[in-house]
Structure 1
C-alpha cells in the first residue's frame, strides 16, 4: 500500500511538472516573441470572453486589449521610446495590467512602484527607475506630490483622476488615442532578453531594489503558472495581492488569462469580505501569501466559506499549521505551494501537496535542476568552504543556503537589479568548481530523504545565541500558537558583552493574553536557546504590501524601555519567567549584572 501511494505521488509530480515544462520549453532570451505577444495570442483566441472583473465592472479580452492599445499610443505620442521607462504608481485597479501590457507593445518598460510608499522610499524607487513620466491616480497623487522635492530629475505626473497644478489629465489624453494595436515595427529587433518591467524587492531590511524583469522572465512566470495550475478557460482566479509584485501581477495573471480564463481583481485584501467575494464571483482559484491564509483561519466562521467553488489555491509562505487548517476548515481540494525569488533563477513547486514543503526534487530530477543547498555559517553569514576553497553541499536534515547556478537559458539566467553593485552581491563564485557562478537566494532551507524542501528562514533573520542557531520563523510559529498571541515577529538584538544576539519577540496580543502563562508555555515548548529573552508588546506589526513583516525598525529600537512605547519584558533567570523591564533593570543588563 505504501509503495502504491509513493508511485501515485511520483506519477502526479511527473504529470504536473511535465505540464508546466511544456508551457515554458520554447521560451528563449533570443526569441523575438515578447510577453505582449503571449497576451495578444490569448486576446485573439478568446476575444469575447470575460477577462478582468474589478468593482462590478467586467471587460472582455478584446476590451482589455483596447485599453492597453490606448496606453500604448498615449506613451508613443508623448515621446516614450523603446527601452525608456514609465513609472506606474497606483493601487490595484482595472487599468493596472492593461497599462504595462500596453507599454510593452511599444517596447517601453513599466516600473511597478509599491503604492504604499511615501517620502524618501518612494523618491528612491522613482529615482532609480530613470522614468521621465509617472502614472498615478487620486489615491497616490498626494504621496507623489510630497516626494517631488526629493526627485533627482523632473518627472511629469499623469493622473487617472482629477489633475491640478502641473499635473496632466491622463483620462482626457487617452480619449484621443486609438484602440487599435500599435504597429509591430516599433519593437522590431527587440528580443525576449530585453527589459519589460522593474519589480521592486519588498524592502523588509532597507530601501527596495529594482529587479530587472525581462520579457522572457515575465513569460516564465505567466506561462509557468498557466501550466502548473492546470488552468483552463473555465477558471476564474481571485487576486487580492498587489499587482506591483510578481506573485499577483504575473503568476496569478498568467494562470487567469493565458488559457482563456478570467481574473477577479480586488483593490486590497479584506479578510471579512473574502469568502463572500469568492463565492459570489464563482472563483475556482485564488493566489495567496502565507500571512493572508493565517488571517483567514483566524476569522470567525461565515456561511459563504462553505459554498465556494474553489478547486485550488496557490502561493508561497504557507505555514504547516495554517495549511492543515485551510484544508480542513475550507475544504480546499488542492494547495499548490511554490518557491521563487522575483529577481532570482531558482523556482520549485510542491506539486503533490506535502504539508509544509515548498517544493520537491526527486533523486531522478536532481541533475536536471540548477539549485542546491550549501552549508552556511549564520554567525559569519558566509558559506562554509572546505580545504579546497569550494563550498560544501548540505545533506538531508542540514540547513543551508539555497543557491541557483547561473546559466544563459531562460530558466537559469540572472538579470539582476538596476544597481550593478547590488547585483554583484547576489552572486556566489567558485562554488563547486573554480569559475562557476551561482545566485544567492538569501534563504535558508533544509531537505528530507525524499527530496522535499522546507523553508527555514531568511539569512540575517536567523541568529546565533548560546552557541545555537535560532530560526525566527520557527520560533514565531510556536509563539503564535500560544493563547492570546495574535501575531509574533521574532528577531535578534545585540546585548553588549553577550555572545551572539538575544532573541526578542514583538507581539500583538488579545485581551486574554497573560505574560505569566505565556512564559510557562515558552519554557515548555521551546529549547532554552530559542526562548525569547525579550518580549515587546506592539499595537500592530508593520508589514510590506505582500504581508511580510518588517524587522529593521524593531531591531534598531532594541530593548531600551525608555525608547519604546508600550510594555517590554525580559526573561528573569532568577524568577524563571518574564518580568517588566524598567530603566534600572535595563542599566543592570547593560552593566552585565543579569545573566541572560
Structure 2
C-alpha cells in the first residue's frame, strides 16, 4: 500500500510538471512573440466565448480585445512610444486587464499601482514609474488629487468617470479610437525581454519597489498556470485578489484566458459573499494568497459552503494549519500550492497536494531545477560561507535561504527591479563556484528527504532570543490553534540589556479566548525561547492588499503601554501572562524583571 501511494504521488507530480513545462518550453528571451501575441491567439480561437465577468456584466474574448484595441490606439494618439509608461491606479473592474493588454500591443509599459495606497507611498510608486499619464476612476481620482502637486513630473490624469478641472475624460477620448488591432509593425524589433509591466512589492517593511515584468516573465506566469492547473475551456476561475498583483492578475487570469475559459472578477475579497458567488457563477477554480484561506474557515457556516462546483484552489501562502480544514469543510478536491516571487527567478509547485509544502524538487530531478537552499546566519542576516569562501548547501531538515541560479534561459533569467541598486542587492555571487550568480529570495525554508520544500520564515522576521532562532511563522501557526485566537502576528521587539529580541504576539481574539488557557498552551506547545514574552490584543491585524501582515508599525510601538492603547500582557516567570502596566514597563526597562 505504501509503495502504491508513493507511485501515485510521483505520477501526479510528473503529470503536473509535464503539463506546466509543455506550456512554457517554447518561451525564449529573444523571441519576437510577446504576451499580447499569446492573448491575441486566444481571442482568435475563442472570440465569441465569455472571457470576463464583473458585477453581473460579461464580455466575450472579442469584446475584451476590442476594449484593449481602443486603449492601444488611445496611447498612439498621445504619441506614447514603446518603453514609455502609463500608471494604472484603479481597483478591480472590468476594464482593468484589457487596459494593460491593449497598451502592451503598442509596446507601452503599464505600472500597476496598488489602489489602497495614498500619501507618501502612493507618491513614491508614481514617481519611480516614470509615467507621464495616469488612469484613475471615480474612487481613486480624489486620492491622486491629494498627491499630484508633489509628483516629480507632471502627470496627466485620465478619468473613467466624470472629469473636473485639468482632468481628462477617458471615456470620451476612447470613443474616437478604433476597435481594430494596431498594426503588428508598431512593436517590430521588440522581444520577450522587453518590459510589459511594473508590479510593485507589498511594502511590508518599507516603501514598495517596482519589479520589472518582461513579456517573458508575464508569459511564464500566464502560460505556467494555464498548464499547472490543468484548466480547460470549461473552467471558470473566481478572482477576488487585486489585479495589480501577479497572483490574481497574471496567474489567475492566465489559467482562464489561455485555455478558452473565463474569469469572474470581484472588486475585493469578501469572506461573507465568497461561496454564494462562487456557486452562483458556476466557478470551478479559485485563486488564493496569504491569509484568505483563514478568513474563509473562520467565517460562519453557510448553505453555499459545499453547494459549488470548485475542483481546484490554487495560490500561495496557505498555512498548514488552515489547509486541511479548508479542503474538508468546503469539499475542495484539490489544492495546488506554489511558490514564486514577483521579481525573482525561483518557482515551484506542490502538484500532489502534500499539506504544508510549498513545492517540490525531488533529488532525481535536481538538475532540472535552479533552486538550492544554503545555510544562513540569522544574526548576521547573511548566508554562511565555509573556509573555501563558498556557501554551504543545506541537507534535509536544515533551515536555509532559498536561492535561484541566474541563467540566460527563460526560467532562470532575473529581470529585477526598476532600481538597479535594489536589483543588485538581491544577487549573491560566488555561491558554489567562482563567477556564479544567484537570486536571493529572502525566504528561509527547509526540505525533507522526498524533496518537498516548506516555508519557515521571511528573513528579517526570524529573530534570535536567548541564543536561539525563533520562526515567527511557526509560532503563529501554533498560536492560531488556541481556542479564541482568530489571528496571530508574531514579531521581535528590542528589550534593553537582553540577548536578542523578545517575542511579541499581536492577537485578534474572540469571546472564547482565555488568557490562562492560552498560557498553558504556549508552555506546552512551544520551547521556552519561542514562547512570546509580550502579548498585544488587537481589534484587527493590518494587512497589505494581498493579505500579508504588516509588522513595521507594531515593531516600532514595541511593548510600551504609554503609546499602545490596546491591552498588553507580559509573561511573568511564576504567574504566567499578566497585564503590563506603566510601572511594570519601567521595571522591565530597569532590568527588575527576569524575562
Residue number in structure 2 paired with 1:431: 431
5 Å-filtered alignment, 1:568-579, equals 568-575=568-575, 577-579=576-578
Aligned-partner Cα distance in 2 for 1:580–1:249: 45
Report the Cα offset of residue 10 of structure 1.
0.8
Partner secondary structure for residue 348 of structure 1:
strand
Q: Give the 3-state SS of the residue equivalent to 2:305 in structure 1.
A: helix
Deviation at residue 227 of structure 1 after TM alignment: 0.3
Q: Is 1:343 aligned with 2:340?
A: no
The equivalent of 2:53 in structure 1 is 53
Q: Deviations over 1:393-439 (max 9, x none)?
A: 01000000000000111100111101111111100111001111100
Per the alignment, residue 256 of structure 2 pairs with: 256
Contact 2:480 2:488 in 1 (8 A): yes
Runs of 4+ in structure 1 over 6 Å off: none
Residues 336 and 349 of structure 1 are in contact (CA less than 8 Å); yes or no, is this contact kept in structure 2? Answer: yes
Kindly state the Cα deviation for residue 306 of structure 1 after the two structures are TM-superposed.
Answer: 1.6
Give, in whole Å, the separation in 2 of the partners of 1:568 and 1:9.
47
| Structure 1 residues 333-371: Cα deviation after superposition (integer angstroms, max 9, x where no partner) | 111000000000000000011011011111111111101
1:555 to 2:529 alignment: no
Partner in structure 1 of residue 391 of structure 2: 391
Alpha-carbon shift at residue 150 of structure 1 (Å): 2.4
How far 1:512 moved relative to its partner? 2.8
CA contact (8 A) 2:290 2:548 kept: no
Cα distance, 1:523 vs. partner?
1.2
Can you list the C-alpha shifts for 1:531-568, whole angstroms capped at 9, x where unaligned? 00000111211100000000011111111110111111
Mapping 1:99-178, distance limit 5 Å? 99-178=99-178
Where do 5+ consecutive residues of structure 2 fail to align? none
Which SS does the other structure have where 1:403 is aligned?
A: strand
RMSD: 0.8
Aligned partners of 1:52 and 1:456: how far apart in 2? 37
How far is the alpha carbon of 1:574 from its aligned partner?
3.2
Q: What corresponds to 1:589 in structure 2?
A: 588
Contact 2:237-2:287 within 8 A present in 1 as well: yes
CA displacement at 1:327 relative to structure 2:
1.5
Q: Take 1:430 and 1:473, find their aligned partners in 2: how far apart are those partners?
A: 30
Do the aligned residues in 1 keep the contact of 2:199 with 2:212 (CA within 8 Å)? yes
Superposed CA offset, 1:465-486 (max 9, x none): 1111111011111111112211
The runs of 5 or more residues in structure 1 that have no matched partner are: none
- Residue 529 of structure 2: aligned partner: 529
Q: CA deviation at 1:321?
A: 2.0
Deviates more, 1:75-84 or 1:214-223: 75-84
Residue number in structure 2 paired with 1:580: 579
Please give the per-residue CA displacement for 1:26-69, whole angstroms capped at 9, x wherever unaligned: 10110000000000000000000000000110000000000000
Contact residue 536 and residue 566 of structure 2 kept, 8 A: yes
* Matched ranges for 1:162-561 at <5 A: 162-561=162-561
CA distance in 2, matches of 1:553, 1:409: 40
Aligned length: 595
TM-score, normalising length from structure 2? 0.99
Asked if the contact 1:120–1:150 (Cα under 8 Å) also holds between the matched residues in 2, the reply is no
Distance (whole Å) between structure 2 residues aligned to residue 113 and residue 68 of structure 1: 19
SS in structure 2 of the partner of residue 355 of structure 1: coil
- Find the aligned partners of 1:238 and 1:566 in 2 and give their Cα distance: 37
* Structure 2: distance between partners of 1:7 and 1:166: 66
Per-residue deviation, 1:138: 0.5
8 Å CA contact 2:65–2:98 kept in 1: the answer is: yes
Deviation at 1:165, TM superposition (A): 1.1
CA shift, 1:149, in A, is 2.7
2:31 match: 31
Asked if the contact 2:290–2:546 (Cα under 8 Å) also holds between the matched residues in 1, the reply is: no
Normalization by structure 1: what TM-score?
Answer: 0.99
Offset, 1:225: 0.3
Give the distance between the partners of 2:258 and 2:199, measured in 1 at CA.
21
Listed one character per residue, the Cα deviations across residues 370-408 of structure 1 (whole Å, up to 9, x for unaligned) are 010000011111101100010000100000000000011
Write the distance in 2 (CA, Å) between the matches of 1:574 and 1:264.
Answer: 55
Whole-angstrom distance in 2 between the partners of 1:358 and 1:72: 38
Cα offset for 1:515? 1.9
User: Is this contact kept in 1: 2:290–2:317, CA < 8 A?
Assistant: yes
- The answer to whether the Cα contact below 8 Å between 1:491 and 1:505 also exists between their aligned partners in 2 is yes
Distance 1:249 1:290 in 2: 15
Segment of structure 1 superposing worse, 376-385 or 209-218: 376-385
Please report how far the alpha carbon of residue 514 of structure 1 lies from its aligned counterpart in structure 2 after TM superposition: 2.3
Q: Is the 8 A contact 2:321 2:481 kept in 1?
A: no
**Structure 1 stretch 584-593 or stretch 398-407: which is displaced more?**
584-593
| Post-superposition offset of 1:162 | 1.2
Q: CA deviation at 1:585?
A: 1.2
Post-superposition offset of 1:510: 1.2
SS of residue in 1 equivalent to 2:325: helix
Query: How much does 1:289 deviate?
Result: 1.1
Q: Following the alignment from structure 2 to structure 1, what is the Cα–Cα distance between the partners of residues 162 and 516?
A: 55
1:517 Cα deviation after fit: 2.1
TM-superposition CA deviations, 1:52-101 (whole Å, max 9, x none):
00011000000000000001111110121110000000000000000000
For 1:368 and 1:512, the matched residues in 2 are separated by 49
Superposed CA offset, 1:272-294 (max 9, x none): 11111000100000001131111
